[in-house]
Amino acid sequence: MRVNPVKRSYLALESWFNLSFGSHWNPLYHLGTLSIFLFWVVLVTGIYLFIPFKGSLEGAWQSVEWMTHEQWYAAGVMRSLHRYASDAVVLTTLLHMFREFASGRFKGFRWFSWVTGVPTLWLIITLGITGYWLVWDQLAQYVALGSARLMDALPLLSGAMTRNFVAGEMTDRFFILIEFLHLLGLPLFLVLMVWIHVKRLSGVSINPPAGLAAGTFLALLALSLAKPARSHAAADLSQMPFTLSLDWYYLNVYPLLDRWSAGQVWLLTTGVTALILFLPWLPRRRTGPAAVVDLDNCNGCGLCFNDCPFDAITVQARTDGKRYEHEVVVDPSLCAACGICAGSCPASNPFRSANRELKTGIDMPQLPVDELRRQVREAIPRLEGDSRVLVFGCEHSADKEALGAGDGHISLFCLGMLPPTLVEYALKQGADGVMLSGCREDDCFYRFGNRWTRERFRGERNPILRARADRRRILVEGGAPVDAARLKKRLEAFREELDTMVGGGSPGEEEPVGK
């Protein structure tokens, strides 16, 4: 399987972080929740700083200086935490966008999350810029004058902003407007945009792992103590500052105004923004046919509704007059065609209708469970070696050539589309062992496929792997395409373990092998 250089580089970075932090605490797997955690840090520190802050042209700089130097042990630390957490939000948001781009998780059904994420980033930038205004030092003056030039270039505001900064005409009233935007208006709008951003996802988590959150906060606190945030000299509209220390996370476009016109800067920023917005359609990713519900075999249990990662399934009152109360409905525009719903359907039991076509309550028309059962029947006689292992692999993990699985490899859209009973069925049909190769742990392309699979096999989520299945003969091992060598080595080791079992050696633990 060929992996583009951008994705390969990012996967290598993820591997390094996995070695350093472990999969569960890998910050690259929790960039969205880390951003929300950092928002909380910004909010709490901002509330503390607002208490002694004086929102006026005369009092702003003096009150910030008092906090920074006179109460350095509390307000000064809070100010530094506020600054560094704000920078970290931009960093985690940009990394989150790059990760989604590198892994291809921005096209097709994911276009909505991508498109709504771009203005969210701009809101964060605008919120940070207004925060720099409130300090009202020389940097704030530079930002204010640059912002005035940018706003004056817009037809509806032509000349209006500059009048507030020339000849000392800026008043406390305008300053209070900036204070309102930074403290209330923009944060409320940002919360709304974040809600819209995750609206099409189900099971959204807003909190990172506790250990990762604690480590992030301690790192910010250590940085705040080692390098406290400081202000420039007080703003003076009669003079032009010459030496400034820019925050490049928020103020990166302002130096362009020293060489370009405001219109040219707007052309650059809007052009880059438009390009990013249209990336999902350049070229467009094709998504397979949506899942199909068969009411003759659906009892409305709602397991597929609980497992759908993209909120594409709803439960409603029965419409066909059957004895059941509910039925499920699939929204094709939201369906990712991952097949996780088919894996969660209790009717996807290959032991049913042994000599007839297997019909399930919900299925994928391009790869129904009955077809998977047929592939299992045909693959097992072709397995070679003393320990014959059948491999179920998702299309985002290593392929059969890289694993050396040959004809004993069955490809799935997502590991979550595999009914647990199909693994038991494979063992009953003559396979000595079964390997499940999905995405990296905590990094499923379809969000929850590998997690649901592990929980089903541990008996923590329905439909569960039945107790009579020999869990010693099942290996669950996740990995990306670049992890093919490790997965192949693990498969070879699994075959050796099976040889030991067949030879009468130690049987090991009565649970699936692997994490």
Question: Which residue bears the tokens 């699936």?
Answer: 512
Residue 431 CB burial class (10 angstroms; 0-12, 13-18, ≥19): buried
Distance CA(313)–CA(302), nearest Å, equals 9
Predicted model pTM? 0.90
Dihedral of alpha carbons 84, 86, 89, 95, sign? negative
391 membership: H or E segment, kind and range: strand 389-394
Residue 393 phi/psi, 5-degree rounding, is -125, 140
pLDDT for the residue 250:
96
pLDDT for the residue 165:
58
pLDDT for the residue 140:
93
pLDDT for the residue 405:
81
Residues of the chain with CATH 1.20.810.10: 5-277
Distance CA(146)–CA(244), nearest Å, equals 14
CB 398 within 8 A of CB 439: no
Question: Which residue bears the tokens 């604690």?
Answer: 214
pLDDT for the residue 163:
62
CB 113 within 8 A of CB 195: no
A 10 A CB-CB count for 238 gives 6
A 10 A CB-CB count for 381 gives 10
pLDDT for the residue 511:
53
**Would you say domain 5-277 falls under CATH 1.20.120.530?**
no
Q: Which amino acid is at 382?
A: R
Strands 409-412 and 326-330 come out as: unpaired
The torsion angle over the Cα atoms of residues 120, 121, 127 and 129, rounded to 10 degrees, is -150
**How many residues in the chain?**
515
392 membership: H or E segment, kind and range: strand 389-394
Residues 247-299: pLDDT tens digits? 999 999 999 999 999 999 999 999 999 999 999 998 766 778 999 999 999 99
Residues 6+ apart with CB under 8 A from 80: 223, 224, 225, 227, 228, 229
pLDDT for the residue 369:
96
Among 324, 340, 288, which Cα is nearest to 109's? 288
Q: Is 445 helix (H, G, I), strand (E, B) or coil?
A: coil
Distance CA(10)–CA(492), nearest Å, equals 27
pLDDT for the residue 318:
93
Among 6, 253, 276, which Cα is nearest to 117's? 276
pLDDT for the residue 291:
97
Q: Which amino acid is at 371?
A: E
pLDDT for the residue 169:
63
pLDDT for the residue 105:
92
Question: Which residue bears the tokens 């003076």?
Answer: 236
CB 353 within 8 A of CB 429: no
106's tokens: 């921005």
HSE-CB at 227 with a 13 A cutoff on CA atoms is 5
A 10 A CB-CB count for 466 gives 12
pLDDT for the residue 337:
95
Q: At what angle do helices 5-21 and 77-102 cross, to 10 degrees?
A: 130
pLDDT for the residue 508:
41
Q: Is 279 helix (H, G, I), strand (E, B) or coil?
A: coil
Q: pLDDT tens track of the chain, all 515 residues? A: 567 788 888 888 999 999 999 889 999 999 999 999 999 999 999 999 999 999 888 899 999 999 999 999 999 999 999 999 999 999 999 999 999 999 989 988 899 999 999 999 999 999 999 999 999 999 999 998 898 889 888 877 666 666 655 545 667 877 888 889 999 999 999 999 999 999 999 999 999 999 999 999 999 999 999 999 999 999 987 788 878 899 999 999 999 999 999 999 999 999 999 999 999 998 766 778 999 999 999 999 999 999 999 999 999 999 988 889 999 999 999 999 999 999 999 999 999 877 789 999 999 999 999 999 999 999 999 998 888 999 999 999 988 888 888 789 999 999 999 999 999 999 999 999 999 999 998 899 999 999 999 999 999 999 999 989 999 999 999 999 999 999 999 999 999 999 888 654 444 445 555 65
